[in-house]
Amino acid sequence: MSEASKVLEKLADAVQIGDPDQVQKLSKRAVAMKIGPLKIIEKGLTLGIRKVGELFERGELFLPDLMMAAEATKAGLRVLEPILRERKETRSFLGRFLMGTVEGDIHDLGKNIVSVMLEANGFEVIDVGVDVPTETFIRKAKELKPDILGLSALLYTTVPKMEEVINALKEANLRDQVKVMVGGAPVTQEIARKTGADAYGEDAISAVDKAIKLMKMQN
Amino acid sequence: MPVQGIEGGHLKLLTKRDLRKIHEATLDILERYGVTVHEETALRILDDAGATVDYKDEVAKIPPYLVEESMKKAPSTVALCGRSSDYDVILEGKKVYTAGGADAIYVIDLETRERRPALLRDLRDFTRLQDALNNIHVVMGIVDPKDAPPLGVDRLRCYELAKNTEKHIIRDAQGMEGTRDQIKMAAAIVGGEEELRKRSIISFVDCTTSPLKHGKTNTEVLIEASKQEIPVIIECDAMAGGTTPVTLAGTLVVQNAEVLSGVLMSQLVNSKTPVIYGNMSSIMDMRTANIALGAPELGLIQVITAQLAQYYGIPFMGCGGMTDSKLLDIQASFEKTLTLMQAALAGTNLIHEMAGMLDSLFTVSYEQVVIDNEIMGGIYRALKGVKVTDETLAEDVIGEVGPLGSHFLAKSHTRRFLKQEHWMPEILSRERRETWEKKGSKEMREVARETAKEILETHWPEPLEKDALEIMNEIVKAAEQQKKYL
């Protein structure tokens, strides 16, 4: 095995273990070895977090393992992204996902878990936070042109806000440009249909599956 | 490394004074009325030691000092070793371990789900299944196979058990010969009788007969095992209201008299023999005349017997996780969890009959073995309690996340403490309804069934050496050729 593959393999391992310091060190070493940043991301970071995702789905790893691996991936990206910008290269993503918790709700655990899983699976995730007013979703959708908008809620009382956002998208003539996904503890398939969303994930894994399917439908 | 035991003993029902009263009443009964011992060698041993023996009625009246001395001398720690030392179980203090089911005559077939007579292949499969499950530490002859020859069935069961598990096996025996043969079989596995005495992979049960009787066959087992220094469990199976007084305190006195006189006989034969206080006592159901094995009273008897054994400083094999329900149903779950929890909180060193048993021990189910293993996992977590240290109070990590943070999932503290703080169930459903529906809306029994099948397809314990198998086989064959039963 070449020196380059060895470093990338170690990098993937460090992501898997969830060691951000080691990930940064190895990312820098890979850069010093003149491996292109895109390749480092693809063959190192992404490979590592995909593996963690697979083990999580099989029940062999748990949420903290996944979240720590995600943190480690981000630590690696902090090293690599400035270099990408310098070289005027851009990562190719599966899709752009705009994500937020609807107004009236400050719960973000589920949203954050889904965001991490989406990133691990090759999405570019832009998280607009919690308690997000409908107008903000609309403004951001116009500005960032996401492929998918994800609306999250934990409180049953804030579910109508999801419908409000979707209606506002229609009014702004954006509805046919962006797919909408809803999710969170009170959301069921039935509720998802009522709000007018395109898809719904009952848990983080299914949310990612659905997002990937939506992207395939678009292309 | 031996199996790591988890401490019980949180639950105590009697004061020291109450325990002493039970002890004194026991001594009084043994001295004034004595016990019947239908075995002459044992009677002579008791006679020689200072008991008053009536050979015609076969009753021995035992002076208190004999009993008290023997209880003081009995070892406080007993090692039940496995073929592999990873399965060694050290019974001591309030550590809680488990032993699987014993002696069912019917099984619920894994394929047809119908009840049918237990067969030899069930003995093999159930033993392998228990070998694979983490919360079952010691294995017993879980079924009495209908297709086995009646003569020497104890040796045959011993053979099948030893082949299909690496865990310690507890055995019954057809008298002295049966005990001797099975000790020879175990010795063949570990490389000789000397080696076996050091690390016994086998132990024997001597069941007393209430009220106040030691039967011939069981006493022979007791004496032979004691001679050879193989661990022996003296187990009382009282039925309060039937074979013992209706009051639980009175039942405990009779039970104690039977077990203590058994310990004495064992100690008189060989004071180095490890003895275990055993019981499967409960109440007689006065509507049906059956023993009630899922009863809360059985649990109460476990708690108090554990206290008594701790008072004497000898290990205790109790029971729990049985049910009188005929089905894998709500009654089964209720009775099993209740009595297992009682036995575990008592600090019962070995909870036997905890895996798979239904129908007042007549029937055993593969799925239920898997379910009971899961129940025990939850109970172990409950026993472990909560540890309060600077690290578990977690001020540092609380500060790191703080009021502005979102979650603790990506903190190394979370991952570090996860496995010791949170129990991970293996077959319970905790997914969302829709996920569960997608997976086929399975009832726990269905998941347990799949798990059992998977284990039986894939799990094979380390095979025995050819030489050992040959010796064992010869013993089994010879026992089948005996002229008469026993």
Residue in chain B nearest A205 by alpha carbon: B435
Domain layout of chain A by residue ranges: 3-86, 95-218
pLDDT, residue B355, reads 98
Question: How many whole angstroms separate alpha carbon B66 and alpha carbon B354?
Answer: 35
Nearest Cα to Cα of residue A203 among B436, B425, B427: B436
Domain span at residue B398 reads: 390-421
pLDDT, residue A219, reads 66
Closest chain B C-alpha to A178 CA, distance in angstroms:
26
Nearest Cα to Cα of residue B344 among B318, B363, B311, B370: B318
Q: Which CATH architecture has domain A3-86?
A: Orthogonal Bundle (1.10)
CB of B409 less than 8 A from some CB of A? yes
Cross-sheet strand order for the sheet of B357-358: B115-117, B106-108, B363-365, B357-358
Terminal C-alpha separation, chain B: 39
Look at chain B and report how many structural domains it folds into. Answer: 2
Tell me, yes or no, whether B141 lies in a domain: yes
Residues B394 and B379 occupy one common structural domain: no
Residues B403 and B346 occupy one common structural domain: no
CATH, residue B276: 3.20.20.480
pLDDT, residue B484, reads 60
Domain boundary among B367, B400, B421: B421
Closest chain A C-alpha to B405 CA, distance in angstroms:
10
Residue of B406, B412, B434 with shortest CB distance to A112: B406
Residues B404 and B339 occupy one common structural domain: no
Which of A202, A203, A205 is the best residue to mutate to test the B interface, defined by the most B CB atoms within 10 Å of its own CB? A202
Closest chain B C-alpha to A9 CA, distance in angstroms:
23
Taking contacts as CB-CB distances below 8 angstroms, the residues of chain B near A70 are 410
Tell me, yes or no, whether B264 lies in a domain: yes
Tell me, yes or no, whether B473 lies in a domain: no
- Taking CB atoms and an 8 Å limit, are A113 and B435 in contact across chains? no
pLDDT, residue B184, reads 98
Residue of A68, A108, A113 with shortest CB distance to B415: A68
Residue of B410, B431, B432 with shortest CB distance to A68: B410
Residues B183 and B258 occupy one common structural domain: yes
Domain boundary among B384, B403, B432: B384
Nearest Cα to Cα of residue B274 among B319, B311, B315: B315
CATH superfamily of A95-218: Cobalamin-binding domain (3.40.50.280)
Question: How many whole angstroms separate alpha carbon B170 and alpha carbon B158?
Answer: 9
Residues B136 and B219 occupy one common structural domain: yes
CB of B434 less than 8 A from some CB of A? yes
Taking contacts as CB-CB distances below 8 angstroms, the residues of chain B near A66 are 409
Residue in chain A nearest B431 by alpha carbon: A203
- Taking CB atoms and an 8 Å limit, are A203 and B414 in contact across chains? no
Which of A19, A55, A65, A191 is the best residue to mutate to test the B interface, defined by the most B CB atoms within 10 Å of its own CB? A65
- Mind listing the pLDDT tens digit for each residue in A27-67? 999 999 999 999 999 999 999 998 998 898 888 999 999 99
Residues B402 and B376 occupy one common structural domain: no
Closest chain B C-alpha to A2 CA, distance in angstroms:
33
Tell me, yes or no, whether B257 lies in a domain: yes
Domain boundary among B333, B360, B384: B384
Residues B398 and B261 occupy one common structural domain: no
- Taking CB atoms and an 8 Å limit, are A202 and B409 in contact across chains? no
- Taking CB atoms and an 8 Å limit, are B407 and A203 in contact across chains? no
Residues B262 and B397 occupy one common structural domain: no
Q: Over its length of 486 residues, how does chain B's per-residue pLDDT go in tens digits?
A: 889 989 999 999 999 999 999 999 999 999 999 999 999 999 999 999 999 999 999 999 999 999 999 999 999 999 999 999 999 999 999 999 999 999 999 999 999 999 999 999 999 999 999 999 999 999 999 999 999 988 889 999 999 999 999 999 999 999 999 999 999 999 999 999 999 999 999 999 999 999 999 999 999 999 999 999 999 999 999 999 999 999 999 999 999 999 999 999 999 999 999 999 999 999 999 999 899 999 999 999 999 999 999 999 999 999 999 999 999 999 999 999 999 999 999 999 999 999 999 999 999 999 999 999 999 999 999 999 999 999 999 999 999 999 999 899 999 999 999 999 999 999 999 998 988 999 999 999 999 999 999 999 999 999 999 999 999 999 999 998 876 654
Residue in chain A nearest B437 by alpha carbon: A202
Quote the ipTM score: 0.81
Q: Which residues of chain A have pLDDT under 50?
A: none
How do B59-61 and B35-37 pair as beta strands?
A: antiparallel
Q: Are A131 and A105 in contact (CB under 8 A)?
A: yes
CB of B441 less than 8 A from some CB of A? no
- Taking CB atoms and an 8 Å limit, are A64 and B418 in contact across chains? yes
